[in-house]
């Protein structure tokens, strides 16, 4: 069982915030990019928390992408959210925290019309 699944919600939020902070500290990008990543990752973390997902999978990331499409976000917004998720999981794998379940997932195009 994943240890996040048995901790009170506020503790999970603090742990996720700490994890996002560690990720952002390791990134060699501008401060405004870090803030965008923070916002986008908080959205993703909230999405997985709402669904009770303790260990996200590739299928979960794909479902998240579909949920962004269903909200009517533009293709460029969806791409931005997924870039943050992909960079986060790439980092998580590099520090041996979590496998990169987002590898190869694209932003997806929306039909023009």
Say how far apart CA 79 and CA 99 lie, in whole Å: 21
Nearest to 16, CA basis, from 79, 108, 98: 98
8 A C-beta contact, residue 109 and residue 79: no
**Using one digit for the tens of pLDDT, what is the confidence trace for 63-87?**
999 999 999 999 999 999 999 999 9
**What parts of the chain have a pLDDT lower than 70?**
1-13, 108-113
Of 39, 45, 50, 44, give the one whose Cα is nearest residue 15: 45
pLDDT of amino acid 4: 46
């Amino acid at each position: 069982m994943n240890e996040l699944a048995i901790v009170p919600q506020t503790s999970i939020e603090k742990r996720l915030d700490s994890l996002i902070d560690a990720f952002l500290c390791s990134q060699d990008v501008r401060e405004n990019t870090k803030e965008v990543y923070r916002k986008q990752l908080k959205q993703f973390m909230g999405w997985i928390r709402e669904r009770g997902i303790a260990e996200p999978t590739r299928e979960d990331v794909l479902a998240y992408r579909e949920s962004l499409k269903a909200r009517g976000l533009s293709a460029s917004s969806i791409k931005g959210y997924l870039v943050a998720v992909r960079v986060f999981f790439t980092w998580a794998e590099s520090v041996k925290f979590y496998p990169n379940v987002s590898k190869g997932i694209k932003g997806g195009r929306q039909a023009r019309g």
